[in-house]
Amino acid sequence: MLNIGENCSLLWRVRFAVWPAPDDYLFEQNRPRAFFYEIPHDHNFNLLTLCIHGPGYETDFYGYDHIAVQGYVEESVALKNFGRHHLKPGEIWYYEPSSDIHIQYPPADLSMSMNILDRHTVVSKNEQFHFDVTNGTITEKVSRESLTWRVMDHVCNAFNDILGKAAL
């Protein structure tokens, strides 16, 4: 994932994500977990996503009331199932922070999305979680200190340095 705007005064952060299909080299060289495939999770920031390349992907959507959750592992959470949807080329979806849960599946062919994140909620104090949607429980707290976030921040900082030098 490529992030633009992480450490600057922009109101929005742009992120480009590549979603490989199971038969793609990128998928084969990484674990599916590296792309968060089939991992029920929420986001603690406003997220708009637009499919900009490929056939897009399918996602199962659920919702929950973050205010009613204490946030501990194995906590029971009342989930609402909103069904499976296909993000098609040119479509835009909105993920509500700390409310929408989704389970993303690998696309039929390599796909790419452009995400726009509200800078104010990127620094949200709300926890982000992984869920067991079958049993309606929290399985893990997602830490900003996790490897994924550290790598994304590092790439973003490097890209911002490049952009800053190019603007001079």
User: Which pair of structure tokens corresponds to residue 164?
Assistant: 């800053």
Q: Tokens at residue 47, please?
A: 């997220």
Q: Say whether 44 sits in a helix, a strand or coil.
A: coil
Please state, rounded to an integer, the average pLDDT across all residues of the chain: 82
The pLDDT score that the predictor gives to residue 2 is 46
Cα distances (Å, whole numbers) of residue 122 to 3, 85, 96: 12, 25, 12
Residue 36's pLDDT is 86
Condensed to tens digits (0 to 9), the pLDDT of residues 55-76 reads: 999 999 999 999 999 999 999 9
Predicted structure pTM score: 0.77
Higher pLDDT, 162 or 34: 34
> Quick check: 51 pLDDT over 80?
yes
